[in-house]
Amino acid sequence: MGDSGDLNANLHFRATGDPRLDKAIYQWITWDKNPHTRAQVEALLRDGCVDELRSRLCSRMSFGTAGLRAPMGAGFALINDLTIIQSTQGLYKYCAIAFPDLHGRGLVIGYDTRGQEASGCSSERLARLTAAVMLGRGVPVYLFSTYVPTPFVPFAVKKLGAAAGVMITASHNPKEDNGYKVYWENGAQIASPHDKEVLRCIEESVEPWAGSWDRGLADSSPLCVDPTQRICSCYMEELKSLCFHRELNAESKLKFVHSSFHGVGHSFVQQAFRAFGLSPPIPVPEQKDPDPEFPTVTCPNPEEGEPVLELSLRLAEREGATVVLATDPDADRLAAAELSNNRWKVFTGNELGALLGWWMLFTWKEAHSNPGDAARVCMLATTVSSKILQAFARAHGFHFEETLPGFKWIGRRVDELRKAGKEVLFAFEESIGFMCGSVVPDKDGVSAAVVLAEMATYLHSQNLTLTQQLANIFHIYGWHVSTTSYFVCRDPATVKRIFTRLRCLQGDDTYPRSCGGHCVAHVRDVTTGYDSSQPDKKCVLPVTKNSQMITFTFVNGVVATLRTSGTEPKIKYYTELCTLPGERSVHTLGTAHVQFPV
């Protein structure tokens, strides 16, 4: 790759004196053909920003939640043209091994509307470079001709029989970020061991191949097909399988407001409502159209609740709408709020999981009179989500399972259960991710939005609100009171110290025995594989050594989990207290204190 002298001769810059960094700089300047990111590295070198150069160039992104996610900018540790090309070369190399028929099945590629002028990166540009790598190796590509919701990629992978799929998106992350999300042939997000193998292949394929920079291949190659119209049509048609009250929908006067958070969701949610016979929701005009700057929100994440839903709530009040729906920028997650007792009730992900899970079970039971049919029905939730589906399962005799956090684990298990002849009715994670039915083997904000709207319409016809029905669910199945939040921590060393202290509070392998005066009954540590509740002290859930997660189960029934996020610099915590059906409980819904008798 040349020595420091070669570097000076080629770049007319003084080398840093660090051989590893000098090599990385030389590689970047030699390989990068994007003038914006190349100029960023040249400027940093010229200004002597050695630490910044080392941070950007001497490390590589790891596969996190089903792929890569990082800020856009120059460097092997960031999202840019070159790292997307390298990632796709590695993906091709692994897919060629995993799928002997890769050149017959092809790859699906979608993208959202993110972009950054400073780095010359946009999701569409990165998608076209992804296509160029595959097309250059003779692999057919299904490249959407416009932005689409993330769920359209796994849907298309299954519908088209593709080997894999890639979605260029950073979902709800800050505007500086972008990502590279990979789906496998089963429509599930990529997980171990595939993610590790792809990363290994990336490291073996870092120099761009001839043709990898040719974005024009997406226009000129006969191997590149636009699936947009077909997939959108098929999706909306299959979505109708989740519609159970079309006539009621058409007659309803209930009004909805929808925000797409400056992302891709507007037109697709409008179409979904029409597919259900519902009047389309009123869009929030300031947030309806895509805008990578996300100008009206401090954070493009509807999970943050009322502060980021302000425009939606005020519009609903003006229009006389009682339900607000919000999809995140890539439309794979859903937030919702309802006007209750003259105040807005913003539902948590766990509360929406309870409502949607109940609705999917209710509509299934309406169509299946034989109690024995429940044996083949399944619902799933991540282990940090509410246990409400477990309560449903106990009462109705269907199968319930927990997975590790993240829909990559849910998607994999859904595929296994379906192959075993099971019907998966519903799955969710507390971070407002929901999978209704079998339309998409991943979380889907578009389908969740219209299913929730139909549920609200039905309840309205029964003189019930969503809030009231949530109270009914808790009364019947037991109260499930949860609190979920997070701390931002950008220092990995601090994160490590926190979790090391939890594992070694009074010496090696001594976890806390109590907290707040309440005794700990069991500890499960999926990072180390320890579970004190099991006879052999080993976790039933898969061990995840590269992320932190410890769960404490207290004698009083509270379950508390502390874990690191796979996509953001956050330490998240989750707590839930579950009561038995009919137990006396006080819970606050909006401003109303509800107390049920024993």
**CA separation for the pair 525, 544 (Å, rounded):** 9
**In the numeric block, which tokens belong to residue 227?**
């699936």
**Pairing label, strands 224-225, 121-122:** unpaired
Residues constituting the chain: 598
CA distances from 69 to 3, 43, 78, 197, 431 (A): 32, 24, 8, 18, 18
Tell me which of 171, 221, 260, 431 is the catalytic residue. Answer: 171
**Pairing label, strands 141-143, 224-225:** parallel
> Which burial class, exposed, middle or buried, applies to 541 when counting CB atoms under 10 A from its CB (0-12, 13-18, 19+)?
middle
> Is 171 noted as a catalytic residue in this protein?
yes
In the block, residue with structure tokens 């109705």: 396
**CA separation for the pair 183, 165 (Å, rounded):** 5
Instruction: Give 137's contacts (C-beta < 8 A, 6+ positions apart).
Output: 92, 96, 209
Instruction: Give 27's contacts (C-beta < 8 A, 6+ positions apart).
Output: 1, 206, 207
Q: What is the largest CA-CA distance in the chain?
A: 83
CA distances from 75 to 27, 84, 114, 161, 276 (A): 10, 11, 19, 35, 46
Task: Assign 51 to helix, strand or coil.
Answer: helix
Q: Are 110 and 152 in contact (CB under 8 A)?
A: yes
Burial 231-243 (b: 16+ CB within 10 A, else e): bbebbbebbeebb
What Rg, from alpha-carbon coordinates, does the chain have?
25
CA distances from 322 to 252, 267, 459, 466 (A): 13, 21, 13, 10
Task: Assign 301 to helix, strand or coil.
Answer: coil
Helices (H), 137-193: 152-160
Q: Which residues are catalytic?
A: 171
